[in-house]
């Protein structure tokens, strides 16, 4: 029988359906889903508006090249206009976060006519060749070298390290909160300095908001926490309400220099993706998802701190909005497994962090459930460590 390659460790359960912040396995066990398909299901599973838009679009027309116009794309543009990052009035749609990063890197090279890209230690930007080149983890990169270069990795949150950004830098790519790298929020002075330096040397600042974007951190765009404007924003995951779609936002001064043939995609901006994004925007506005993420994130963090901070193996509980990491002094895999046994799905970040990426629908009792499950996972990990 043909084998489906997964590239991820199998979690040992078969999920058959999802609704809101919950999923169910084949034995009808209910789980709180703080994994959310690597953060995609921020609007919850099976959002009614997203489903209705997709069904209708499927019936009307599901595929149509960008060479032709169609009403759903016009509707999407109208909806997205109120949510787009400030000054970034040009949009290209693709299908995954990595593809959005690829396009951003291509554009930076074309516009600046420079080659070097600066990224940061612990960064994650995807696994296609360009995106992988600016991803920090050597384990992901080394088997595929030589990658696209030159790339220089600087210390994240270290203003001094920004001196290496010079007139030969085409672009700097940064996550406002490093996700895969360990849920590490950027410091305000770091982001402000990064903006200043890139402006000074005319390097393009690419804000990779694939994980942080669309409300998760308590603002529609996480870089808004730092009162800065950026040159390019890449988005993905949450923006399609579960449908695979990504986006690159650009300002006019870059958009004007893009020519026919510079990029393209068979599926990019297809009517189904446009329908999904339109619906997601409607939900984002009517449900005020960013405000909810901010309030709920603060509450969740408080509950987690109360219940977990006293454990010796807990180094730090940190995050922004509903992007939360419990950083341990040890490998978190056993705790993540115990969380799953307690019917709470979470994921690993970096080498030592338990990561929660909840749907915005999470309630206080869900938070208590997750915190109690985390306490069990952490206390058992701690006792096992003491015993060994
Ligand atoms: C910040 C960031 N950029 C890019 C990506 C790659 O996205 P995708 O897996 O959709 O290609 C991810 C995925 O986790 C991400 O977190």
DSSP codes of every residue in 71-131: HHHHHHHHHHHTTSPTT--EEEEESSHHHHHHHHHHHHHHHH---EEEEETT----SSHHH
Distances (CA, A) of 321 to 55, 127, 219, 299: 32, 26, 8, 9
Q: How far is the CA of 54 from the centre of ligand 1 (A)?
A: 23
Supply the pLDDT for residue 255: 97
Supply the pLDDT for residue 252: 98
Supply the pLDDT for residue 233: 98
Compute the distance between CA of residue 149 and CA of residue 131 in angstroms, rounded to an integer: 11
Supply the pLDDT for residue 354: 98
Digitized pLDDT (tens) for each residue of the chain, 388 residues in all: 999 998 899 999 999 999 999 999 999 999 999 999 999 999 999 999 999 999 999 999 999 999 999 999 999 999 999 999 999 999 999 999 999 999 999 999 999 999 999 999 999 999 999 999 999 999 999 999 999 999 999 999 999 999 999 999 999 999 999 999 999 999 999 999 999 999 999 999 999 999 999 999 999 999 999 999 999 999 999 999 999 999 999 999 999 999 999 999 999 999 999 999 999 999 999 999 999 999 999 999 999 999 999 999 999 999 999 999 999 999 999 999 999 999 999 999 999 999 999 999 999 999 999 999 999 999 999 998 777 7
Compute the distance between CA of residue 351 and CA of residue 138 in angstroms, rounded to an integer: 13
Q: How far is the CA of 39 from the centre of ligand 1 (A)?
A: 10
Q: Identify the CA nearest to 70 among candidates 218, 230, 274.
A: 274
Q: How far is the CA of 45 from the centre of ligand 1 (A)?
A: 19
- CATH class of domain segment(s) 48-286: alpha beta
Residue nearest to ligand 1 atom 7, measured at CA: 97
Alpha helices in the chain (DSSP H): 36-39, 48-60, 71-81, 97-112, 129-133, 138-141, 188-200, 252-255, 271-286, 289-308, 333-341, 364-387
**Residue 345 · residue 32 · CB < 8 Å:** yes
Residues 6+ apart with CB under 8 A from 222: 176, 177, 207, 209, 212, 213, 216, 320
| Phi, psi values for residue 141, rounded to 5° | -85, -45
Compute the distance between CA of residue 369 and CA of residue 356 in angstroms, rounded to an integer: 13
Q: Identify the CA nearest to 356 among candidates 313, 283, 300, 308.
A: 300
- Work out the mean pLDDT of the chain and round it to a whole number: 97
- 217 Cβ closer than 6 Å to some ligand 1 atom: no
Distances (CA, A) of 75 to 61, 235, 271: 15, 19, 11
Supply the pLDDT for residue 44: 98
Q: How large is the ipTM?
A: 0.99
Cis peptide before 180 (omega within 30 of 0): no
The answer to whether domain 15-46+288-387 has CATH 3.30.420.40 is no
- 98 Cβ closer than 6 Å to some ligand 1 atom: yes
Residue spans of the domains in the chain: they are: 15-46+288-387, 48-286
Is 266 marked as binding a ligand?
yes
Is 265 marked as binding a ligand?
yes
Among 123, 233, 237, 355, residue to substitute to test ligand 1 (most atoms within 8 Å of Cβ): 237
Supply the pLDDT for residue 386: 75
Q: Which helix (H) or strand (E) holds 348?
A: strand 347-349
Supply the pLDDT for residue 387: 77
pLDDT tens, 36-92?
A: 999 999 999 999 999 999 999 999 999 999 999 999 999 999 999 999 999 999 999
Q: How many residues in total does the chain contain?
A: 388
Supply the pLDDT for residue 224: 98
Q: What is the pTM of this model?
A: 0.98
Q: How far is the CA of 246 from the centre of ligand 1 (A)?
A: 10
Q: How far is the CA of 42 from the centre of ligand 1 (A)?
A: 15
- Give the 3-state secondary structure of residue 364: helix
Supply the pLDDT for residue 208: 99
Q: What is the DSSP letter of 305?
A: H
pLDDT tens, 222-277?
A: 999 999 999 999 999 999 999 999 999 999 999 999 999 999 999 999 999 999 99
Residues 91-123 as b/e (b if ≥16 CB within 10 A, e otherwise) read: bbbbbbbbbbbbbbbebbbebbebebbbbbbbb
Compute the distance between CA of residue 316 and CA of residue 334 in angstroms, rounded to an integer: 18
Beta bridge partners of 326: 317, 354
């Amino acid at each position: 029988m043909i084998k489906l390659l997964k590239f991820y460790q199998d979690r040992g359960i078969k999920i058959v359906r999802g609704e809101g912040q919950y999923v169910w396995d084949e034995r009808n066990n209910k789980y709180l889903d703080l994994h959310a398909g690597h953060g995609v299901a921020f609007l919850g599973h099976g959002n009614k508006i997203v489903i209705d838009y997709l069904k209708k679009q499927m019936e009307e027309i599901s595929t149509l090249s960008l060479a032709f116009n169609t009403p759903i794309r016009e509707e999407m543009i109208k909806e997205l206009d109120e949510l787009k990052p400030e000054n970034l009035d040009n949009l290209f749609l693709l299908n995954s976060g990595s593809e959005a990063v690829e396009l951003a890197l291509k554009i930076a090279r074309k516009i600046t006519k420079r080659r070097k890209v600066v990224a940061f230690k612990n960064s994650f930007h995807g696994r296609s060749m360009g995106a992988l080149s600016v991803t920090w983890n050597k384990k992901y990169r080394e088997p595929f070298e030589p990658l696209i270069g030159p790339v220089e990795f600087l210390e994240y949150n270290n203003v001094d390290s920004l001196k290496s950004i010079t007139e030969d830098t085409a672009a700097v790519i940064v996550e406002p909160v490093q996700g895969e790298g360990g849920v590490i929020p950027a410091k305000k002075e770091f982001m402000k300095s990064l903006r200043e330096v890139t402006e000074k040397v005319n390097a393009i600042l690419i804000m990779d908001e694939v994980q942080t974007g669309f409300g998760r951190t308590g603002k529609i765009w996480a870089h808004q926490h730092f009162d800065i404007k950026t040159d390019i924003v890449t988005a993905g995951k949450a923006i399609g309400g579960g449908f695979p779609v990504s986006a690159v936002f650009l300002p006019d001064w870059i958009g004007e220099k893009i020519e026919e043939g510079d990029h393209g995609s068979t599926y990019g901006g297809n009517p189904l993706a446009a329908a999904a994004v339109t619906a997601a925007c409607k939900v984002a506005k009517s449900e005020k998802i960013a405000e909810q993420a901010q309030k709920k994130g603060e509450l969740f963090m408080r509950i987690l701190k109360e219940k977990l901070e006293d454990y010796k193996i807990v180094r730090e509980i940190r995050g922004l909005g509903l992007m939360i990491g419990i950083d341990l002094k040890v490998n978190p895999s056993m705790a993540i497994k115990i969380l799953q046994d307690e019917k709470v799905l979470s994921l690993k970040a970096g080498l030592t962090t338990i990561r929660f990426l909840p749907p915005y629908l999470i309630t206080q009792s869900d938070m208590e459930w997750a915190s109690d499950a985390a306490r069990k996972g952490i206390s058992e990990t701690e006792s096992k460590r003491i015993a060994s």
